[in-house]
């Protein structure tokens, strides 16, 4: 849900907005580290609203971690990279995308790599790949997602992953965009928090695209706590974001 917040010990999660097709941005903070999870449109504006003119804070952003390269999850990367440059950033930044991605994040950032005053490292995530990054132990798991437009709701499959992130003794699962998938069930079990996409109010005839609210709640119930994100409108046309 847009505007959701969660905290446990020294770990804090903020979800300023998560609107399907528009933008999802989340910020995960642990001691001395900030990691951005998903980077849709408006990510730079949100970052500026948090860090403002305290330029030293822009060094705290360790990584931008995206579940897949649809524009609403990765289309804000270019502006984030420029905001860091304008703020005088010098430390390296990691950008984590699923293996095989060549979409929004790759295309917007690739021409700038090597031309900024700080280094950007692209890392690929894939099934059970584990990296230590920005104070997190980050493990990815494969999910099932597709292109989708109003005129062609059930498009081609895209490279997509979810993430399990451990920090300061807490473990948080991010589903990304996905249809039902066993890896999500496995990762939600015993997690402290599950952040689950819950796009559809009712089942939709397209395999491996999104979860219904009911499916999302079932995954969420496996974790200690859950937050539902990415809600679309219901059959009556009510927007429930
Ligand atoms: Zn998507």
Looking at residue 182, the DSSP 8-state letter turns out to be H
C-alpha 147 to ligand 1 mean position (Å)? 7
Q: 8 C-alpha to center of ligand 1: Å? A: 28
Residue-wise pLDDT tens digits, 158-185: 999 999 999 999 999 999 999 999 999 9
Distance 87 CA to ligand 1 centre (A): 30
Residue pair 36/26 in contact by the 8 Å Cβ criterion: yes
Backbone angles phi, psi at 80, to 5 degrees: -65, -45
Other residues' Cβ atoms within 10 Å of the Cβ of residue 75: 23
| CATH fit for domain 4-229, picks 3.90.79.10, 3.40.50.720, 3.30.2010.10, 3.60.15.10 | 3.60.15.10
Residues 67, 69: Cα–Cα separation, whole Å: 7
Contact assessment for residue 144 and residue 115, using Cβ atoms and an 8 Å cutoff: no
What's the 23 CA to ligand 1 centre distance in angstroms? 10
Q: Ligand 1 centroid vs 176 CA: distance in angstroms?
A: 8
Residue 11 has, within 13 A of its CA and on its CB side, a CA count of 17
Percent of the chain at pLDDT exceeding 90: 76
47 CA from centroid of ligand 1 (Å): 22
Report the alpha-carbon distance of residue 136 to residue 128 in Å, rounded: 15
pLDDT of residue 240: 52
From ligand 1's centre to the CA of 59, what distance in Å? 29
88 alpha carbon – ligand 1 mean position (Å): 32
- Average pLDDT of 17-43? 95
Following DSSP, what letter does each residue of 26-45 receive, concatenated? EEEEETTEEEEEEE-TTHHH
Residue 39 β-bridge partners: 25
User: How much distance in Å is there from the Cα of 38 to the middle of ligand 1?
Assistant: 11
């Amino acid at each position: 849900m847009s505007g959701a917040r969660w905290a446990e010990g020294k770990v804090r999660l903020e979800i300023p907005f998560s609107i399907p097709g528009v933008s999802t941005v989340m910020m995960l903070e642990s001691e001395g580290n900030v990691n951005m999870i998903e980077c849709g449109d408006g990510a730079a504006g949100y970052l500026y609203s948090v860090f403002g003119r305290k330029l030293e804070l822009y060094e705290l952003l360790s990584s931008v971690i995206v579940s897949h390269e649809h524009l609403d999850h990765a289309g804000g990367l270019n502006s984030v990279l420029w905001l860091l440059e304008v703020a005088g950033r010098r430390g390296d930044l990691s950008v984590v995308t699923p293996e095989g991605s060549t979409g929004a994040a790759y295309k917007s950032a690739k021409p700038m790599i090597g031309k900024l005053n700080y280094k950007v490292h692209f890392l690929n995530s894939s099934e059970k790949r584990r990296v230590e990054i920005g104070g997190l132990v980050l493990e990815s798991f494969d999910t099932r997602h597709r292109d989708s437009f109003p005129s062609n709701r059930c498009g081609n499959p895209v490279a997509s992953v979810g993430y399990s992130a451990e920090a300061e003794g807490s473990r948080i699962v991010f589903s990304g965009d996905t249809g039902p998938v066993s890896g999500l069930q496995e990762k939600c079990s015993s997690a402290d928090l599950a952040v689950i996409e819950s796009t559809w109010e009712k089942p939709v005839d397209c395999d491996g695209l999104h979860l219904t609210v009911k499916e999302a709640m079932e995954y969420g119930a496996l974790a200690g706590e859950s937050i539902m994100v990415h809600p679309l409108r219901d059959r009556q046309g009510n927007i429930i974001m």
